[in-house]
Amino acid sequence: MSDLDQLYQQIILDHAKARHGAGLLEAPEGIAHGESLQHNPVCGDHIQLRLQLDGDVVKNVSWEGDGCSISMASASVLSEMAEGLDREEFMSILNEFRELMRSRGTRAGDEEVLGDGAAFAGVSKFPARVKCAMLSWVAAEAALLQASA
Amino acid sequence: MSSATTTMQDTLPNPLNDVEVARLRADFPILGRSINGAPLTYLDSGATSQKPSCVYEAEQHFYENFNAAVHRGAHSLAVEATDIFEQARTTVAEFIGAKDNEVVWTSNATEALNLVTYSFGNASAGLGGDAAKRFALGVGDEIVVTELEHHANLIPWQQLAQRTGATLKYIPVDESGALRMDLAGDIITPATRILAFTHVSNVLGTVNDVAALVALARNVGALTVLDGCQSVPHLPVDVKSLDVDFMAFSGHKMLGPTGIGGLYGRAELLDAMPPFLTGGSMITSVSMESAQFLPSPMRFEAGTQRISQVHGLATAVSYLREVGMERIAGWEEYLGERMLTGLSSIDGVRVLGPGLGAARIGTAPFIIEGVHPHDVGQFLDSRGVAVRVGHHCAQPLHRALGVVSSTRASTYLYNTTSDIDALLNAVADVRGYFGVGK
């Protein structure tokens, strides 16, 4: 598989179209939530993400934004995966994803841990695109912190 | 090229052609590289140009033979280095039609524009005495820019307005990105003190009507500041016939090294302006309380200068003069038209900017329906085609065009007809790759 095909795996292109979690959800009364707006200064893309926390468990992650297929697919994967995880589980997946993105192509994604997120292993070979993949995860981390406060 | 239009390329007695360009390309070793298994197609000269080997060999030659600090020290090397440094100033000044003492070296065009705004800010704070009062701004004064500007010719003016209480206004663009010249006369008023605008849009490649804008500014006694980053490398530029008061330009976009740019300013203005950066080599006398400053250009050249870069830039300018700016402009007009016409005919591609016929350098900004520019650029890179993606430091212009970002292909003298065809072929495959438009 060429580097380009590794970057744009079908699973990523599918998520970029599906956009799970797109459209911000209002948090019901009594549900803690956090929100974060992240910009990619290179292209002007942005993502606004809201995370709802039911006790210790992520109730849902919803978002709004415009961006390249990598950033949109990443937000979609994140949103699909986060639901039902407790805080600790979510943070450990986030850290695993971040490590993968920093690996410069030296690591294979662990599907057991990252699910569809493992398909992003090819992104780490393209340092200019890591920011795209991380945008929603950085927003989710900030939103989780806020929701937990 | 469309047969209906006569271009500069057609009318030149000895236009550049692919055969001669192939010879020129031998001067640019990097153009022989392969990228991702394909020959490099470099169409990002709007961001930075490639350099002919004579430019960096000149820098090496300087370091091997003449390296010394300029304008200080009496030893032979220092004298020789100073001669090289000042000879370079003469070369570059001649190239843009200025006098020697009207070219100030800066690290880039951004610094050149900041030099003007900070100097005016200092004048507004009362520095520079009576001579500098003409540059002082305050509440009620207006600074006018355009919606086309690169952030480097926008943010420094925003900051100056915020520091002084002046009002920042702008001439908008229409939906195609053309400057609303019909509104310019109303926006520029007797309260306008400064009109700052770009000669050529870095996104669209369109050439602004400098004469008309300068006339409007002159009418109300406003100073004019031209951003020449995208014009000086690609078109014959003469500051005296453009009749602007200041012009910023960038070395690395015109075959020169990075880290060097310049500011042109009319001598009587520069000599009246308070300095921006202060320190060594820009003074006549210093006490513990105050300092007196040298005239321009040294007034604005504090600290040890970028001597090898200046020498490299002068070498680049000599290279450009040898090829001929008219011929370069004509060649890029041909390349640009081929690019714009070709892109427009590809399904799902929308070229941004005014249609064919508008004065334009070899720059083609476009979007591909359904594919984000970042993904477009990535795909083109896999074919060895280097373009710029993003907002190109012009977010307000993109907003006015109704997009967040775009893909921009930009040419220079070393691009060939087959470079353009490589771009067009790759662009034609983008939507298929991403499964869009099926």
State how far Cα B284 lies from the chain centre.
33
Whether B204 is in a domain gets the answer yes
B388-427 residues touching A, CB cutoff 8 A: 389-391, 395, 398, 404-405
Each residue's pLDDT tens digit, A6-22: 999 999 999 999 999 99
What is the nearest CA distance from A62 to chain B, expressed in angstroms? 21
CA distance B434 to B429: 9
Chain A residues touching residue B434 (CB < 8 angstroms): 8, 13, 69
Rounded to two decimals, the ipTM of the complex is 0.91
For B36, name the nearest residue in chain A, comparing CA atoms only.
Answer: A3
Quick one: CA torsion of B390, B393, B394, B396, rounded to 10 degrees? 100
Confidence of residue A44 (pLDDT cuts 50, 70, 90): confident
DSSP for residue B46: T
Give alpha helix (H) positions in B97-164: 109-124, 155-164
Pick from A44, A69, A126: CB nearest B395: A44
Asked if A8 and B405 come within 8 Å (Cβ–Cβ), the reply is no
Asked if A4 and B378 come within 8 Å (Cβ–Cβ), the reply is yes
Q: What percent of chain A has pLDDT over 70?
A: 100
Number of structural domains (chain A) is 1
Neighbour-count burial for B31-53, b at 16+ CB within 10 Å, e otherwise: beeeeeeebbbbbbbbeebbbbe
Asked if A13 and B382 come within 8 Å (Cβ–Cβ), the reply is no
Asked if B36 and A44 come within 8 Å (Cβ–Cβ), the reply is no
Chain A residues with CB-CB distance to B under 8 A? Answer: 2-4, 7-8, 13, 42-45, 66-70, 126, 129, 132
Q: Which amino acid is at B343?
A: L
Burial of B248 (0-12, 13-18, 19+ CB in 10 A): buried
**Which of B36, B203, B374 best probes binding to A when mutated, by most A CB atoms within 10 angstroms?**
B374
In a shared domain, residues B147 and B204: yes
Kindly report the backbone phi and psi dihedral angles of residue B139, in degrees, each rounded to the nearest multiple of 5, phi listed first.
-55, 135
Asked if B390 and A43 come within 8 Å (Cβ–Cβ), the reply is yes
Chain A residues touching residue B395 (CB < 8 angstroms): 44
Is the minimum CB–CB distance between B365 and chain A shorter than 8 Å?
no
For B380, name the nearest residue in chain A, comparing CA atoms only.
Answer: A4
Going B274 to B277 to B280 to B281, the CA torsion angle's sign is negative
Helix A127-148, helix B373-382: angle, nearest 10: 150
- Domain ranges, residue B329: 8-51+324-433
* Residue A32 tokens, joined: 């803690």
How many CB contacts within 8 angstroms connect chain A with chain B?
A: 50
What pLDDT is attached to residue B115? 98
Place of tokens 């353009």: B420
CATH of the domain at B375: 3.90.1150.10
CATH of the domain at B97: 3.40.640.10
Give the end-to-end CA distance of chain B in Å, rounded to a whole number: 30
* Residue B119 tokens, joined: 């100097």
Single residue among B321, B338, B363 that ends a domain in this structure: B321
Place of tokens 């934004």: A65
Whether B105 is in a domain gets the answer yes
Section A29-54 average pLDDT:
92
Per-residue pLDDT of chain B in tens (438 residues, 90 and over written 9): 444 456 778 888 889 999 999 999 999 999 999 999 999 999 999 999 999 999 999 999 999 999 999 988 789 999 999 999 999 999 999 999 999 999 999 999 999 999 999 999 999 999 999 999 999 999 999 999 999 999 999 999 999 999 999 999 999 999 999 999 999 999 999 999 999 999 999 999 999 999 999 999 999 999 999 999 999 999 999 999 999 999 999 999 999 999 999 999 999 999 999 999 999 999 999 999 999 999 999 999 999 999 999 999 999 999 999 999 999 999 999 999 999 999 999 999 999 998 877 899 999 999 999 999 999 999 999 999 999 999 999 999 999 999 999 999 999 999 999 999 999 999 999 999 999 986
Whether B157 is in a domain gets the answer yes
Pick from B372, B379, B391: CB nearest A4: B379
CATH of the domain at A78: 3.90.1010.10
Single residue among B304, B321, B338 that ends a domain in this structure: B321
In a shared domain, residues B248 and B365: no
- Closest to B377 measured CA to CA, from B367, A11, A134, B202: B367
Each residue's pLDDT tens digit, A103-140: 999 999 999 999 999 999 999 999 989 999 999 999 99
What pLDDT is attached to residue A100? 96
CA distance B432 to B373: 15
Whether B438 is in a domain gets the answer no
Q: Percent helix, strand, coil in chain B (nearest 5)?
A: 45, 15, 40
Whether B3 is in a domain gets the answer no
What pLDDT is attached to residue B1? 40
DSSP for residue B208: P
Positions of E strands within chain A:
32-40, 45-54, 57-66
State how far Cα B289 lies from the chain centre.
39
* Residues contacting residue B354 through CB under 8 Å, at least 6 positions apart: B176, B177, B178, B204, B206, B360
State how far Cα A38 lies from the chain centre.
12
For B434, name the nearest residue in chain A, comparing CA atoms only.
Answer: A13
What pLDDT is attached to residue B97? 98
Positions of E strands within B138-191:
142-146, 167-171
- Domain ranges, residue A76: 3-148
What is the nearest CA distance from B345 to chain A, expressed in angstroms? 24
What pLDDT is attached to residue B2? 42
CA distance A66 to A46: 6
Can you give the pTM of this predicted structure?
A: 0.94
* Residues contacting residue B366 through CB under 8 Å, at least 6 positions apart: B343, B349, B350, B351, B352, B406, B407, B408, B409, B427
Section A27-33 average pLDDT:
91
- Catalytic: B54? no
Pick from B36, B375, B391: CB nearest A44: B391
Is the minimum CB–CB distance between B359 and chain A shorter than 8 Å?
no
Whether B374 is in a domain gets the answer yes
Chain B residues touching residue A67 (CB < 8 angstroms): 372, 374
* Residue B81 tokens, joined: 């280095």
In a shared domain, residues B293 and B428: no
- Closest to B153 measured CA to CA, from B210, B208, B114, B102: B114
In a shared domain, residues B206 and B286: yes
In a shared domain, residues B158 and B305: yes
Query: Which residue among the candidates B31, B194, B351, B393 is catalytic per the annotation?
Result: B393
Whether B2 is in a domain gets the answer no
In a shared domain, residues B218 and B331: no
In a shared domain, residues B36 and B159: no
Pick from B374, B405, B434: CB nearest A132: B374
DSSP string, A19-32: -TTBSPPPPPTT-E
Give the end-to-end CA distance of chain A in Å, rounded to a whole number: 45
- Closest to B410 measured CA to CA, from B358, B345, B335: B335
DSSP string, B360-418: B-SEEEEEETTB-HHHHHHHHHHTTEE-EEE-TT-HHHHHHHT-S-EEEEE--TT--HH
Residue A115 pairs in a beta bridge with none
Whether B1 is in a domain gets the answer no
Q: CB neighbours (10 Å) of residue B238? A: 11
CB B276 within 8 A of CB B121: no
* Residues contacting residue B166 through CB under 8 Å, at least 6 positions apart: B137, B138, B139, B140, B141, B142, B143, B160, B193
CB A78 within 8 A of CB A136: yes
Q: Which amino acid is at B138?
A: G
Is the minimum CB–CB distance between B380 and chain A shorter than 8 Å?
no
Single residue among B321, B349, B365 that ends a domain in this structure: B321
In a shared domain, residues B140 and B256: yes
* Residues contacting residue A146 through CB under 8 Å, at least 6 positions apart: A33, A34, A35, A36
Coil, helix or strand for B194? Answer: strand
Number of structural domains (chain B) is 2
